[in-house]
């Protein structure tokens, strides 16, 4: 019985899909139109009214739009309050070219009154969202375009994107299912309207098994009379090739690609300098320290967020020292704490902080931080890897070797359950990886770190050398 029901269900879903497809076809043919009859091309004024009326109906949306417009102003105000801010995106140095490119692309589309799709990719922290927010908040463009910004991580599921877009466009929808929202959007696109700029941030969240949603969205610009500029933002360079390979088949559907490259050292220096000039805190950093910081960040990730985080942390460290000295001075002299002489961040401090952040995962402050039994566990693992025949190490086997090692040294042995617990404690440090089978004894143990790194962390040369010399223990006898 259940099979029959499920088959019926699948048939139903097929029907739904068919309907969707038919609708899609229907929309491409401009014969049927449910909306109000089109007016002449010159009639842009009544259209704006059409846009305005629903906004009046839903006041919260209007608040949102206005807040977005204010954002830049607000950010600038914020900047003055804090020394170096991660969020300072008032102006975007080193992204002028991309901004110009984007603006030109949009202008072109606006000039020919057409539509287009755009995909922006780049590693995290390269200013993709910042650039887009800047363009969105541009007053000049805002008069010509209707901006819709949606961050796709806020969706409950990929399908609810339509609902969100409807809310942003303040459309009235006939029903509550996904299909109705989609219909409403497509109808809106068919009707006369201002050109819509739809920005979908973190678009990779919309990926589903058949990619129907992504395909639907990317097909909107290709429809006639849909004046839509679609902008997708994500990290992956080849998202459109990987997930949306069918778009390659039709040239008009192919999204225009813009790539944001990781920042180079000079660019990072320029960003940091610009940030400090804005906040009048240029004296906080000397040039060498800035160069070092930028070089390090550029060599590892080229992520401006990281550079700003690091700069902020340096300033915090420096101001902490400042505060402490101030407190000490105040106690000694009873002077008011005004206008402290700000020392610039020294290069030594930069080196220290970088070492903390980019150094080995763990720098042991004292030798005793690593429990003895865990040391023995790691030593036994090294021994098995060095002297054992098979590299397939289970917890049971490792326990056997560990027992032999302990017996040689007259140390107390922990039993298997405790041993497993210890393995998972070492795993939290990232040195090991336990790969799960159901049975604890059959779990596989894999060393994740380089052996030299383990040696450094254990910081106990004598013990390691001693255990590793004992190849007879490797068989667990």
Partner 1 sequence: NVEAVGTPKRNIQLSNIVEEFAEGRRTSKVMHETPKKATVEEPKTPKSARGRPRKSTSTVVEEYKSTPKSATKLKLIRSGAIKPNVQARDAPVQISPDDQLAVARERLHVSAVPKSLPCREKEYSEIYNFLEGKIIDSCGGCMYVSGVPGTGKTATTTAVIRSLQVLAQEEEIPTFEFVEINGMRLTEPRQAYVHIYRQLTGKTLAWEQAYNLLDKRFTTKAPRRVTTVLLVDELDILCNRRQDVVYNLLNWPTVPSAQLVVITIANTMDLPERLLMGKISSRLGLTRLTFQPYNFRQLQEIVMARLTGTSAFDAEAVQLVARKVAAVSGDARRALDICRRATELAEEQSRKVDKFVSVSMGHVQKALGEMIASAKVQTIKCCSRMEQLFLQAVTAEVARTGIEECSFLGVYSQFEALAAFAGVTVPNPGRAIAICSRLGASRLLICENSRNDIYQKILLNISSDDVHYALQASSLI
**For residues 81 and 249, which CB has a smaller minimum distance to partner 1 in the complex?**
81
Binding-site member from 74, 108, 280, 451 for partner 1 (CB under 8 A): 74
Closest approach of Cβ 71 to partner 1, in Å? Answer: 8
Closest approach of Cβ 191 to partner 1, in Å? Answer: 28
Closest approach of Cβ 426 to partner 1, in Å? Answer: 9
DSSP state of 74: H
Closest approach of Cβ 234 to partner 1, in Å? Answer: 9
Q: Are 237 and 121 in contact (CB under 8 A)?
A: yes
If binding is defined by CB under 8 A, does position 428 make contact with partner 1?
A: yes
**For residues 88 and 276, which CB has a smaller minimum distance to partner 1 in the complex?**
88
Q: Are 186 and 234 in contact (CB under 8 A)?
A: no
If binding is defined by CB under 8 A, does position 8 make contact with partner 1?
A: no
Binding-site member from 21, 70, 327, 409 for partner 1 (CB under 8 A): 70
Closest approach of Cβ 368 to partner 1, in Å? Answer: 4
Stretch that binds partner 1, among 42-50, 154-162, 185-193, 242-250 (CB under 8 A): 154-162
Among 306, 308, 302, smallest CA distance to 279 is for 308
Stretch that binds partner 1, among 9-17, 18-26, 275-283, 395-403 (CB under 8 A): 395-403
At 259, give phi and psi (nearest 5°): -115, 135
**For residues 228 and 290, which CB has a smaller minimum distance to partner 1 in the complex?**
290
Please give the full DSSP string across 161-218, using - where no structure is assigned: HHHHHHHHHT---S-SSHHHHHHHHHHHHHS--PEEEEEEESGGGG--SS-HHHHHHH
Q: Are 105 and 256 in contact (CB under 8 A)?
A: yes
Structure tokens belonging to residue 411:
């140390």
At 236, give phi and psi (nearest 5°): -70, 135
Max CA separation in the chain (angstroms)? 95
Stretch that binds partner 1, among 70-78, 135-143, 190-198, 256-264 (CB under 8 A): 70-78
**For residues 108 and 439, which CB has a smaller minimum distance to partner 1 in the complex?**
439
Per-residue contact track with partner 1, 225 to 244, x per CB under 8 A? ----------x---------
Please give the full DSSP string across 317-328, using - where no structure is assigned: HHHHHHHHHHHH
Closest approach of Cβ 46 to partner 1, in Å? Answer: 31
Distances in Å between the alpha carbon of 286 and those of 250, 269, 272, 349? 54, 12, 12, 12
Q: What angle do CA 282, 286, 288 make, to 5 degrees?
A: 140
Q: Are 219 and 246 in contact (CB under 8 A)?
A: no
DSSP state of 454: H
Total binding residues toward partner 1, as defined by CB under 8 A: 69
Give the interface with partner 1 as residue ranges (CB under 8 A): 1-2, 60, 63-64, 67, 70, 74-75, 78, 81-83, 85-88, 123-125, 153-156, 202, 205, 235, 301, 303, 305-306, 309-310, 312-313, 316, 319-320, 357, 361-362, 364-366, 368-374, 396, 399-400, 403, 414-416, 418, 421-422, 425, 427-430, 439, 441-442
């Amino acid at each position: 019985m259940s099979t029959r029901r499920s088959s019926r269900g699948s048939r139903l879903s097929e029907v739904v899909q068919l309907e969707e497809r038919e609708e899609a076809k229907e929309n491409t043919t401009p014969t049927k139109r449910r909306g109000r009859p089109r007016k002449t091309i010159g009639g842009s004024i009544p259209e704006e009214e059409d846009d305005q009326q629903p906004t009046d109906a839903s006041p919260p949306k209007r608040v949102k739009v206005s807040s977005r417009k204010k954002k830049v102003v607000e950010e600038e105000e914020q900047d003055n309050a804090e020394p170096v801010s991660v969020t300072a995106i008032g102006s975007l140095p080193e992204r002028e070219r991309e901004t110009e490119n984007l603006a030109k692309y949009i202008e072109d589309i606006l000039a020919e009154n057409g539509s287009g799709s755009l995909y922006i990719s780049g590693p995290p922290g390269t200013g993709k969202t910042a650039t887009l927010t800047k363009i969105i908040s541009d007053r000049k463009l805002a008069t010509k375009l209707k901006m819709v910004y949606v961050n796709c991580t806020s969706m409950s599921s990929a399908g609810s994107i339509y609902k969100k877009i409807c809310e942003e466009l303040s459309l009235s929808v006939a029903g509550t299912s996904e299909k109705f929202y989609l219909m409403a959007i497509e109808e809106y696109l068919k009707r006369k309207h201002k050109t819509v700029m739809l920005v979908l941030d973190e678009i990779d969240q919309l990926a589903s098994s058949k990619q129907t949603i992504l395909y639907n969205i990317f097909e909107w610009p290709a429809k006639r009379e849909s004046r839509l500029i679609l902008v997708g933002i994500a990290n992956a360079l080849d998202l459109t090739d990987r997930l949306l390979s069918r778009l390659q088949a039709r040239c008009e559907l192919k999204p225009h690609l813009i790539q944001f490259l990781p920042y180079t050292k000079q660019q990072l220096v320029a960003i940091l300098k610009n940030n400090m000039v804005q906040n009048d805190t240029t004296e906080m950093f000397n040039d060498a320290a800035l160069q070092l910081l930028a070089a390090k960040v550029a060599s590892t990730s080229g992520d401006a967020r990281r550079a700003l985080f690091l700069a902020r942390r340096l300033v915090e460290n420096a101001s902490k020292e400042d505060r402490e000295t101030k407190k000490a001075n105040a106690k000694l002299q009873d002077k008011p704490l005004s206008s402290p002489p700000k020392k610039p961040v020294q290069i030594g401090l930069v080196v220290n902080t970088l070492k903390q952040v980019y150094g080995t995962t763990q720098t042991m402050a004292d030798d005793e931080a690593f429990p003895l039994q865990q040391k023995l566990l790691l030593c036994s693992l090294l021994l098995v890897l060095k002297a054992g025949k098979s590299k397939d190490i289970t917890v049971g086997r490792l326990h056997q070797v560990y027992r032999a090692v302990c017996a040689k040294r007259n140390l107390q042995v922990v039993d298997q359950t405790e041993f497993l617990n210890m393995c998972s404690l070492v795993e939290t440090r990232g040195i090991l990886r336990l790969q799960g089978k159901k049975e604890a004894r059959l779990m596989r143990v894999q060393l994740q770190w380089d052996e030299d790194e383990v040696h450094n962390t254990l910081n106990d040369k004598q013990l390691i050398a001693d255990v590793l010399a004992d190849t007879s223990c490797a068989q667990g006898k």
